[in-house]
Structure 1
Amino acid sequence: MKHSEYYVTDENIISNIVEKQKRYFYEQKTKSKAVRVQALKDLQSMIKSNEEVIMEALKKDLNKSEIEAYASEIGILLEEIRFTLKHLDGWMKSKKAKTVMTHIGSKGYIIPEPYGVTLIIAPWNYPFQLAISPLIGAIAAGNTAIIKPSELTPNVSRVMEELLAKTFDPSFVTVIEGAVETTQILLKQPLDYIFFTGSVNVGKVIMQEAGKQLIPVTLELGGKSPCIVHRDANVELAAKRIMFGKSMNAGQTCVAPDYLLVHKDVKVQLIAQLQKAVTQFYGEDALTSGRYGRIVSERHFDRLIEFLQDGKAVIGGNYNEETLQIAPTVLDEVKWDSSVMQDEIFGPILPLIEYESVDEVVSAVHQKAKPLALYLFSESEEVQQQIINTVSFGGGCINDTIMHLATPHLPFGGVGESGIGQYHGEASFKTFSHFKSVLKQTTKFDFAFKYPSDNQSLKTIKKFLK
């Protein structure tokens, strides 16, 4: 079901919304601690009192089960708000900075201030969480916010628009629904910050458009996140945690394990344990399980089905065109130049390539763009440190998958092609804040040597600046 009747494609309407938010911001209505705290509490209350409505929309758009919808789209947000409310006072305070000898008598301060009108462009895979999570940071930092949800999840988009319209003045927080045309109009507006979550290719377009006005951006992108299973791994536990990370939301997760690098000594054992995990999670047929999601659209489904030709399905491989579901699948006999190994998969297909040495793994991962996530299963501290110290990636886990994303204590973001900037917890506050440096100088005395006069001034300055 499409809700295109709600799309906003009139440039005058969008410009008017931005102008109202500019005015609201410059009237200082977002900046006090009391306003920020109340707005976060209102957001918290909105989520709690509409859990069933949100989960129903997620079910319609992505067939998300209640437990998955709550854990990944609702509960994680409530924890983020709780954490932000607890620490906001400290984050907002100006910090004193040390001064140097040439600045005796002065005091330095670093003052966090909001940017102004922020645009949050949200993706379809976690359509509620990945819109509201950056909103928490935008509000906490004192900004106004415009959210542009994905048109591929129209039910969540509509629910979000309705709920936020009831909760906030649109001059403070609002949702603008639409497709590509709406985004293009938004990117032409005099915004103060853009936060985008989505694909690498679209991220490049966002950055290019933002660059025309020198609008700062955060880009939360993706890439091929490797999952390494070394010979000394706890294979049974590794299989369960790998399949959990890969099958959540039918693999449509930016930090899902994208491909498996498995030591040849444990390959057969790992495949058997991965199959065991699939059965444990979803029964004998995941496609008939009420706990398993679907692919978001026919276009994405068709793209994924083609990958099944790139190897031998040792687990899964079956699919249902009517429900747009693909069973959790592990492909063996995959080559590095196969199409499934070129771009981020973003689905429940897991190619498997075996290796013999850790150096081989490091070399292989270095051949690709820096990934958003990396996962290593090994009991060896030496192997763990070798991977951490030699491979660049946004973030990741040792002996687990995706869980680094679910804590406000760890900043989340990519590196290189997998993203620019970080958020979650204090990192969200920092992302949506400009840190203004101010030097407060004394008028009780003055140093004559800093002014241009004679050679004696130069000698004095050289004594201080050496």
Structure 2
Amino acid sequence: MTETEIKKIVQEQRTYYYTGATLSIDARILALKKLKACILKHEADINEAIKKDLGKSAFESYMCETGLVLSEISYMLKHIHSFAREKAVHTPLAQFHSRSYKKPSPYGVVLIMSPWNYPFLLTIDPLVDAIAAGNTAVLKPSAYSPHTSEIIQAMIQECFDSKYVAVVTGGRAENTCLLSEHFDYIFFTGSQAVGKEVMRQASAHLTPVTLELGGKSPCIVDKDANLKLAAKRIVFGKYLNCGQTCVAPDYIYCERSVKDRLVKEIKKQIQKQFGKQPLNRENYGKIINEKHFDRILGLMDSAKIVYGGNFDRATLRIEPTVMDNVTFGDVVMQEEIFGPIMPILTYDSLDEAIRNINAMPHPLALYIFTNNSYVAKKITSRCGFGGGCINDTIIHLATSEMGFGGFGESGMGSYHGKDGFDTFSHYKSIIDKKTWLDLPMRYQPYKKLNNKLIHIFLK
């Protein structure tokens, strides 16, 4: 898409937004219902597109992408009236007689830039929140997942006029053009490197941003953990989508005395969940492209591989792999893995583990497996991270009842449910002052009586 075409889309959306057409709650509800019906209609097409891009099965696509989007739409339809309602607040005596309230208002024209690893979910989920809040939206899906981008574009064109919701496909050139435009809000999901560029470009227009990034999310396994259950849930979370999940457990940080037993249980669980030849399993996904395939292989240390390690370049598949006796100085610990490699590190004391985790950039997620409530409370209180689970992985993002997001190096802002509505809304603070009474004390010339009254009113 050319620069001129992109400019035209943004201008048309701004013109349309200023007509007030998106402000009606009924109009927002109608838009969400149209989107939901379209998703249901094209569910098989969505599954097929994701399969071509990432090798996901229909079950995994629904569980991790389509189903979560439908759940978010249903949640918004149920709560949109209460979310969009003006919220009355207490009025101080000094403002007598007035009504004070906060009015949720859409930002206007928003840009949503999404990644390739969950290409449908991470494009449409924030769109649901943006529509519910009353915005127009330009979607920019990833060029690395072209089949999913294509079905998204077709569906959006079927549902909406481009002056309301539009899709811009393409790569770096289109991203550059979009970021040079003046949007009222930018929502970006992707890498830290690109997130920094998005924030830099947004600063030219003082555009507020939400950044959903990533990082090396630790998975702590305490000596009191149920190791069999921990291994089962860790293997699920780590190797889901071949490890290409921003909240996947990046590395295991295990209490030294239980490490060998945990490794044994992890090996059992990999075989149980993926079989002895995962590269030949129909429902085992693939790495998105050869560039990332080679990057992941470069993180492997054959001397430390205790399970897996095989790969198939023709299908871009890498086995679920476990590396033992890893240290924080190893290559695999210098960047977010974003692939099916599980490094295992050990600690001797909880304070040591907390100190080492806090010495690293803030992760998007943190997981702790323990049956000791004191340990769980200490880690969740002392470590900085976006969100996480106690005795499970991944599932904290699969709810509309809690916001999802990071902080610091793992991002800023959150979404899902009410948090998503708030992200795409500006809350105007308004006082509706009545005209039948006008207290004279605030006006010049000030008198001694005014001084006494102002102290009474403002204490």
- Scaled to the shorter chain, the TM-score interval is over 0.9
**What residue number does 2:383 align with?**
391
**What residue number does 1:449 align with?**
441
Query: Distance between the aligned counterparts of 1:407 and 1:208, measured in 2?
Result: 31
Deviation at 1:315, TM superposition (A): 1.6
Quick check: 1:92–1:112 contact (8 Å CA) kept in 2?
Answer: yes
Query: Distance between the aligned counterparts of 1:311 and 1:96, measured in 2?
Result: 64
Is residue 86 of structure 1 aligned with residue 78 of structure 2?
yes
The 5-angstrom pairing of residues 425-436 of structure 1 reads: 425-436=417-428
Quick check: 1:311–1:333 contact (8 Å CA) kept in 2?
Answer: no
Deviation at 1:454, TM superposition (A): 2.6
**What residue number does 2:293 align with?**
301
TM-score normalised by structure 1 residue count = 0.97
* Alignment partner of 2:62 out of 48, 64, 70: 70
Cα deviation digits, residues 275-316 of structure 1 (max 9, x gap) = 111111111111111111111111111111011127511121
Is residue 460 of structure 1 aligned with residue 453 of structure 2?
yes
Deviation at 1:460, TM superposition (A): 2.3
The 5-angstrom pairing of residues 78-117 of structure 1 reads: 78-117=70-109
Tell me the secondary structure at the aligned position of residue 308 of structure 1. Answer: coil
The 5-angstrom pairing of residues 158-307 of structure 1 reads: 158-307=150-299
- AA partner of residue 265 (structure 1): S
TM-score normalised by structure 2 residue count = 0.98
Deviation at 1:65, TM superposition (A): 1.1
Cα deviation digits, residues 58-102 of structure 1 (max 9, x gap) = 111110111111111111111111111011110010010111121
Deviation at 1:459, TM superposition (A): 3.2
* Alignment partner of 1:47 out of 31, 39, 44: 39
Deviation at 1:196, TM superposition (A): 0.2
5+ residue gaps, structure 2, are none
Tell me the secondary structure at the aligned position of residue 176 of structure 2. Answer: helix
Q: Is 437-446 or 247-256 further displaced after alignment? A: 437-446
Query: Distance between the aligned counterparts of 1:91 and 1:239, measured in 2?
Result: 40
Superposition RMSD in Å = 1.0
Query: Distance between the aligned counterparts of 1:123 and 1:292, measured in 2?
Result: 20
Q: Which 4+ runs in 1 deviate beyond 6 A?
A: none
Tell me the secondary structure at the aligned position of residue 242 of structure 2. Answer: helix
**What residue number does 1:376 align with?**
368
Tell me the secondary structure at the aligned position of residue 298 of structure 2. Answer: helix
The 5-angstrom pairing of residues 309-458 of structure 1 reads: 309=301, 312-456=304-448, 457-458=450-451
Query: Distance between the aligned counterparts of 1:427 and 1:256, measured in 2?
Result: 22
Quick check: 1:311–1:334 contact (8 Å CA) kept in 2?
Answer: no
**Kindly, what percent of the aligned residue pairs are identical?**
47
**What residue number does 1:144 align with?**
136
Deviation at 1:444, TM superposition (A): 1.0
Cα deviation digits, residues 366-409 of structure 1 (max 9, x gap) = 11011100000000010011001101110000000000010111
Tell me the secondary structure at the aligned position of residue 161 of structure 1. Answer: helix
Cα deviation digits, residues 316-351 of structure 1 (max 9, x gap) = 111111111111111112121112111111111111
Is residue 33 of structure 1 aligned with residue 33 of structure 2?
no
Cα deviation digits, residues 431-463 of structure 1 (max 9, x gap) = 000001110111111111111213422332233
